[in-house]
Structure 1
Amino acid sequence: MYPDDAPIGDAYLTHEAVQAILERQKNLCAGCSVSLDAGSTHFDLWRPAICGGPRTLGNLAALCPSCHRNHMRRIREEFADHKNK
C-alpha cells in the first residue's frame, strides 16, 4: 500500500495529511491553481465516496472557496443525474 492509498478518517484531517496535500499541490488550488490561504482552504475528496471515490489521501484535494463551491455543485448534479437513471 502506498502512503497516498492509506485510508483517512471520516471527520478530521491530521496536520500531517494537510501538509502532505498542500506540498503535493505546491500550495495551489487543485481547481484553478490560485495560491491557497491557510484560513480559507477547503479539503475535500476529489471523487466523493458517495460517487465511488476512495477515502484516501491520494483522493483528497485542497481547493479555494470558489472551486470548492463549483466542485460541490458538480457533485450534487452528478449524484442527482445518477439517481434519476
Structure 2
Amino acid sequence: MPERGTRAAMHFDDVPIGDAYLTHEAVRAILERQDNRCAGCSAPLDAGSTYFDLRRPAICGGSHTLGNLAALCPSCHLSHMRRIREGFADHRNK
C-alpha cells in the first residue's frame, strides 16, 4: 500500500467504481472492452437487456473495479447468478 501522499500507478481497470450505479463512461468502457458482446457466450448485447455483474463477487473477495465487471446477456447472467448461489449452498452444506 502506498504511503499517504504518494501516488501509485493505477491501470484503468483497477479504478474503483461505486456500489450502486455505473457511470455512462464505465458502461461504455466495459462494452468497448468486450466488443459489445456477452462475456459468457459472445452474443451481441442489446442496450435494453444487458446485465453488468462482478466476475468474482465482492462477498468472495472480488473488487468493485472495472476490471472485475463483465457485461452479460440475460441467459448468461442467470447462469452466473445460479453458479454463485450453488457455490454458497455447497459451502454452507460442508
TM-score w.r.t. the length of structure 2 is 0.86
Q: Whose relative contact order is higher, 1 or 2, with alpha carbons under 8 Å and at least 6 apart?
A: 1
| Count of residues paired in the alignment | 85
CA distance in 1 between counterparts of 2:88 and 2:56 reads: 11
Match of 1:73 in 2: 82
Matched residue type, 1:73: R
- Percent identical: 81
CA distance in 2 between counterparts of 1:52 and 1:41 reads: 24
Based on CA coordinates, which of the two structures has the bigger radius of gyration?
A: 2
State yes or no: 1:53 paired with 2:62.
yes
Shift of 1:82: 2.3
Match of 2:52 in 1: 43
Match of 2:15 in 1: 6
Match of 1:27 in 2: 36
Question: Any stretches of 5+ residues in structure 2 without a counterpart?
Answer: 1-9
Aligned-residue RMSD, C-alpha = 0.8
Q: Is the 8 A contact 1:6 1:56 kept in 2?
A: yes
Shift of 1:79: 1.7
Shift of 1:5: 0.5
